[in-house]
Amino acid sequence: MQSVGEKTYSQAVREGKYDLYVGNLFGKYDNVRTYWEDQLTRIALRPFLRELVERCRRENRGVRIVDLGCGAGQGYEILTKIDRRDLDLGLQHERVLPKEEIDLYLGLDISQAMVERGQVLFESQPEVTFAQADLREGFGPFKDREPFDIYFSSYGSLSHLNRQDLVKLLQDICEHSGNESLIVLDFLGRYSIEWPDFWFADSEDEKVRDYTMSYLYSEAVRKEVESDRFPLRFWVGSDVKDLSEELTQTCGLGVEVLKLMDRSMLVGRHTDTQEYNKQLKPIRRAVNSLHQDYLRTNLEELVIDPAIVPDHPVIAPPLRELIDSWNVVVEYCQQRLWERCSLTQLEGWDDFAKPLQFALMTIDRVIADVGWMWYGDPRANIIEPQLGYALRTLEYEMQRGRGCGHGLVAILKTQK
């Protein structure tokens, strides 16, 4: 059976878009992917992965991982580069899951091109292996393997499955898993500002929409190439909770939702392409610029009009609150660069949410501490990246796991 989106994925592999990290202003491995999305996924996973690894150590064995829809093995890079704690200036990296403690990483993907690319990229690592698999058919072909500790997915890979097929896959996984295995689900969020027309989907058919990965290409290329389109299922937080309850009832074991995280609420892939919402500004492009060496960003391009958020009784208020807070940080940074304001002059400080106060203090201190530097363009190479991290933290601290981001990450644990 041909893979959905096979044309897009095969072309992307041929062009090297699934090779390991290449930072950029657009494409698969743009700066937002590297400095925001990968890092936020790691932050969300860290406490649960740390507990799992320590349990495996007590049992004197390595960690077993299966990556569902693995691409060329990018999940391996996410899982093995999680620091045990936030680093201070004196610490070296100490990973939660060192590579030498992995017994097996099995990457499964429907695309043979992806599987072959992964085999090339990881050919020197014997603990890493790949196999072609159609997850729409469940986990059956791999049931004879020992249980895995982590059933992992990333970046919307499981949105390729409709709900019925996903339930079948997860039922197989629950039957196959050991006690306290982690299941990491990564979906496209239905409440993203990228596609407000999807917000009010009610029936199951309405929750499945055509999707395109046109963001892999620059604006000039997008005008010349017609991107492949394929159906994906869009999810919200309440869907995941319902799914967990259904699995608990049908599989005879506990399936606990440990965490739900909205990822890329304002900087999703299609904010730049405007494929689904013509009102959006290319915010992701501007944030990519914040993290690019020796490139100064027009900070005015980061300001977002809250009016782009449609009316919705549950989703609109927190999104508008985030946008308002985001704009306060950006505008304060602009003024502070010109020494036209200070924190003591900001009105309404006591009413600001704690994440907003922290972001503002971060920007204020960074600008104050590097103002004396003349070499190496401190604005482009120090202040702007720190503005990016401040906005990233603001978004993470204000998200509520409702499906309001481009991605919705769900971390589940089985209990037998």
What's the per-residue H, E or C state across 32-80?
A: HHHHHHHHHHHHHHHHHHHHHHHHHHHCCCCEEEEEECCCCCHHHHHHH
Q: In sequence order, which ranges of 225-292 are alpha helices (DSSP H)?
A: 237-251, 270-273, 283-290
Place of tokens 């989106």: 5
pLDDT value, residue 22: 46
Question: Measured on CA atoms in the order 197, 34, 395, 320, is the torsion positive or negative?
Answer: negative
Average pLDDT per 10 consecutive residues for the chain, totaling 416 residues:
62 62 73 96 97 97 97 94 85 92 97 94 96 94 95 96 97 95 98 96 96 86 84 98 96 95 97 94 96 96 96 95 98 93 90 96 96 91 98 97 98 95
pLDDT value, residue 92: 85
Q: Which two tokens stand for residue 289?
A: 């610029």
**β-pair partners for 84:** none
| Chain mean position to CA 31 | 12
Helix (H, G, I), strand (E, B) or coil at 385: helix
pLDDT value, residue 86: 82
| CA atoms within a 13 Å half-sphere pointing along the CA-CB vector of 204 | 5
Q: What is the pTM assigned to this prediction?
A: 0.92
pLDDT value, residue 224: 83
Helix (H, G, I), strand (E, B) or coil at 20: coil
Helix (H, G, I), strand (E, B) or coil at 232: strand
**Which of 398, 41, 401, 395 is CA-nearest to residue 241?**
401
| Phi, psi torsion values for 331, nearest 5 degrees | -70, -35
Name the CA dihedral angle for 380, 304, 220, 10, rounded to a multiple of 10 degrees: 90
Burial call 247-275: b when 16+ CB within 10 Å, e when fewer:
bbeebeebbebbebbbbbbbbbbbbbbeb
Place of tokens 């997860």: 170
165: CB partners within 8 A, 6+ apart: 135, 136, 138
Q: In whole angstroms, what is the distance from residue 405 CA to residue 187 CA?
A: 10
Helix (H, G, I), strand (E, B) or coil at 18: coil
- Which domains are delineated in the chain? 6-265+405-415 (3.40.50.150), 271-398 (no CATH)
Running DSSP on this structure, what letter comes out for residue 289?
H
131: CB partners within 8 A, 6+ apart: 106, 107, 108, 115, 142
